[in-house]
């Protein structure tokens, strides 16, 4: 139970209600810095009696509860002494059409895609199915404290329209894109290089930057996109530099062997994407388990991010992600934490953090809880270029630039480089 105190809210106008400050009081968890870099003690800002003041959907103050209350004496106070108040979790890689195939038995990646995944995604050609699936997916996100995600829709534009409309109507902060896939897959989930480009372009026009939505150009992976489609995806991303780009990279040994056959001229898996203009800041590569030293150094040099999907990697039997190799050194690769539902076996970011700990143990590195929470919030926000909006508890510092979305070709004003503002704090039992 929580206690709420109110003062005179009965006769307020809608504007007054919106600008009215609410203070959440309880145990607060925020990050001052990156625990991988400075260690947990220096990085974590935990307050056993903290306060988070919110107005108009944005955080306006964070600190000791008594200080925040003293600064905002007229605020509505909600008290949650037994709860942890923190930023919403951010799932940096997930497939909403796959919600019904979680924990599908007995296959590794390529067979799993054919037997379970593509048939589930084919159903999203139907608008009613896509809409119902999108809402069930968002229900699960909320139930698990996930308020932002980077979402793969199916190859059908209607699946993106259904998802974005559902997310918009519920004020989620979401990145999403139509998977582009023109080969090595059943017709029911295929597009062509041309139609994939045109449909994605129309979806960008419809959804990118609308409310809290960001479009992600989404060539599925180098197995199901021909060189012509990868080239078209690269062109599309160049034409829309504020959009994100998401795809799969070096997930499973049998996939990597096939990719090598399909793209014989490339130096390695990452090199295929790079040859087609799909590497850079704002690129989000899922899995990235079996990387070479060259691939890691190109990721470091270009500022691209990775999504670590530990429950999926264990469930599908893909391998053990080397978090330490990604994060070490002066220029760590940005890493976010992801469920990868339906390859992943749970919507719970706690289960996902636990799996990340177990995978790290098997790689000879003990993941600290502070690192795990950081990956699931600030880390994922960084990969999605959303650290100025979500992922931490901090007062919002809006950019002075007129654009509120990320632009790879422009840097933020310096006032924003320290900003780690967040939209929705979330409290747990």
From candidates 208, 220, 308, 374, binder to ligand GUN by CB under 6 A: 220
Residue from 35, 88, 196, 286 in contact with Zn ion (CB under 5 A): 286
| φ, ψ of residue 368 in degrees (nearest 5) | -75, 145
Smallest gap from Cβ 107 to ligand GUN, in A, equals 11
Residue 312 binds ligand GUN (CB under 6 A): yes
Binding mask 240-259 for ligand GUN (x = CB under 6 A): --------x--x--------
Binding to ligand GUN by CB under 6 A, coded x per residue (else -) over 158-197, reads ----------------------------------------
Q: Which residues are within 8 A (CB) of 366 and not within 5 positions of it... i.e. 6 or more apart? A: 357, 360
Residues 6+ apart with CB under 8 A from 257: none
Q: What is d(CA 232, CA 229) in angstroms, rounded to the nearest whole number?
A: 5
Q: Which stretch binds Zn ion (CB under 5 A): 38-46, 219-227, 278-286, 413-421?
A: 278-286
User: What's the CA gap between 357 and 308, in Å, rounded?
Assistant: 12
- 237-240 long-range contacts (CB < 8 A, ≥24 apart) are 237/277, 237/278, 238/277, 239/201, 240/201, 240/204, 240/208, 240/215
221's contact among Zn ion, ligand GUN, none, with CB below 5 to 8 A by partner kind, is ligand GUN
Partner whose footprint covers residue 117, from Zn ion, ligand GUN, none (CB < 5 to 8 Å by kind): ligand GUN
Neighbours of 411 (CB within 10 A): 10
Q: Tell whether residue 344 is a contact of Zn ion (CB under 5 A).
A: no
Task: Mark residues 55-94: x for contact with ligand GUN by CB under 6 A, - for none.
Answer: ----------------------------------------
Q: Rounded to the nearest whole angstrom, what is the least distance from the CB of residue 170 to ligand GUN in the complex?
A: 24
Structure tokens, 95 = 């497939």
Q: Which region among 10-18, 109-117, 134-142, 195-203 touches ligand GUN (by CB under 6 A)?
A: 109-117
For residue 17 the two structure tokens come to 């209600």
- Identify whether the C-beta of residue 214 lies closer than 8 Å to the C-beta of residue 92: no
- Cα separation, 171 vs 213, in Å, equals 9
CB of 149 to Zn ion, least distance (A): 12
Nearest approach in angstroms of CB 310 to Zn ion is 13
Task: Tell me, residue by residue from 324 to 343, as one string, x for binding to Zn ion by CB under 5 A and - for no binding.
Answer: ----------------x---
Q: Is 345 in the site for ligand GUN (CB under 6 A)?
A: no
* Closest CB to Zn ion among residues 78, 340: 340
Q: Reply yes or no: is the peptide bond before residue 342 cis, omega within 30 of 0.
A: yes
> Got the DSSP string for 253-306?
HHHHHHHHHH-TTSSSHHHHHHHTT--STTEEEEE--S--HHHHHHHHHHT-EE
Whole-angstrom Cα distance, residue 157 to residue 417?
35
Output the CA–CA distances (angstroms, integers) from residue 35 to 30, 87, 296, 372, 389, in the order listed.
Answer: 11, 16, 21, 9, 20
Cβ at position 249, least distance to ligand GUN in Å:
9
Q: Is 117 in the site for ligand GUN (CB under 6 A)?
A: yes
Q: Which residue is nearest to ligand GUN (CB)?
A: 343
> Of 228-236, 285-293, 314-322, 347-355, which segment contacts Zn ion by CB under 5 A?
285-293
Phi, psi of 343 (to 5 degrees): -65, -40
Q: Which among 80, 78, 63 has a CA at the least distance from the CA of 26?
A: 80
Q: What, of Zn ion, ligand GUN, none, does residue 35 touch, CB below 5 to 8 Å by kind?
A: none
Distance CA 340, CA 286 (A): 8
The residue among 148 and 154 lying less far from ligand GUN, judged by its C-beta, is 154
Size of the site for Zn ion (CB under 5 A): 2
When the beta carbons of 248 and 296 are compared against ligand GUN, the nearer one is 248
Choose the stretch contacting Zn ion; rule: CB under 5 A; options: 216-224, 286-294, 371-379, 380-388: 286-294
From 3, 88, 153, 25, select the one nearest 390 (Cα to Cα). 88
User: Which residues sit at the interface with Zn ion, rule CB under 5 A?
Assistant: 286, 340
List of residues contacting ligand GUN (CB under 6 A): 95, 109, 113, 117, 220-221, 248, 251, 312, 316, 340, 343
């Amino acid at each position: 139970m929580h206690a709420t105190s109110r003062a005179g809210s009965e006769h307020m106008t809608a504007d007054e209600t919106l600008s009215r400050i609410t203070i959440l009081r309880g145990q607060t968890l925020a990050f001052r810095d990156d625990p991988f870099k400075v260690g947990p003690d220096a990085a974590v800002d935990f307050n056993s009696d903290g306060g988070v003041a919110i107005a108009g959907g944005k955080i306006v103050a964070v600190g000791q509860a008594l200080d925040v209350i003293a600064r905002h004496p007229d605020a509505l106070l909600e008290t949650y002494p037994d709860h942890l108040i923190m930023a919403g979790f951010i799932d940096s890689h997930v497939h909403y059409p796959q919600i019904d195939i979680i924990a599908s038995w007995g296959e590794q990646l390529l067979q799993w895609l054919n037997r379970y995944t593509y048939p589930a995604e084919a159903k999203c050609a139907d608008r009613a199915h896509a809409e119902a699936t999108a809402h069930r997916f968002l229900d699960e996100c909320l139930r698990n404290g996930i308020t932002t995600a980077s979402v793969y829709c199916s190859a059908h534009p209607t699946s993106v329209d259904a998802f974005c409309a559902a997310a918009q109507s519920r004020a989620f902060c979401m990145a999403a894109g139509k998977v582009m896939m023109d080969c090595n897959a059943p017709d029911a989930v295929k597009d062509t290089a041309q139609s994939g480009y045109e449909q994605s372009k129309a979806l960008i026009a419809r959804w990118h930057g609308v409310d809290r939505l960001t479009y992600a150009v989404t060539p599925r992976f180098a197995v199901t996109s021909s060189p012509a489609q990868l080239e078209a995806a690269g062109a599309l991303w160049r034409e829309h530099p504020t959009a994100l780009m998401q795809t799969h990279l070096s997930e499973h040994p049998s996939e990597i062997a096939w990719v090598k056959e399909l793209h014989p001229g490339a130096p390695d898996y990452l090199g295929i994407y790079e040859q087609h203009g799909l590497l850079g800041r704002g690129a989000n590569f899922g899995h990235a388990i079996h990387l070479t030293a060259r691939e890691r150094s190109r990721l470091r040099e270009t500022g691209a991010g990775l999504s670590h999907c530990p429950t999926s990697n264990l469930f599908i039997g893909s391998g053990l992600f080397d978090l330490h190799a990604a994060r070490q050194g002066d220029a760590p690769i940005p890493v976010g934490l992801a469920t990868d539902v339906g390859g992943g076996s749970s919507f719970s970011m706690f289960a996902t953090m636990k799996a990340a700990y177990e995978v790290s143990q098997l790689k000879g590195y003990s993941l600290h809880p502070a690192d795990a929470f950081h990956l699931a919030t600030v880390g994922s926000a960084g990969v999605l270029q959303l650290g100025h909006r979500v992922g931490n508890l901090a007062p919002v510092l809006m950019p002075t630039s007129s654009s509120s979305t990320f632009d790879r070709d422009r840097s933020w004003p310096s006032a924003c480089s320290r900003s780690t503002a967040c939209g929705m704090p979330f409290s747990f039992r």
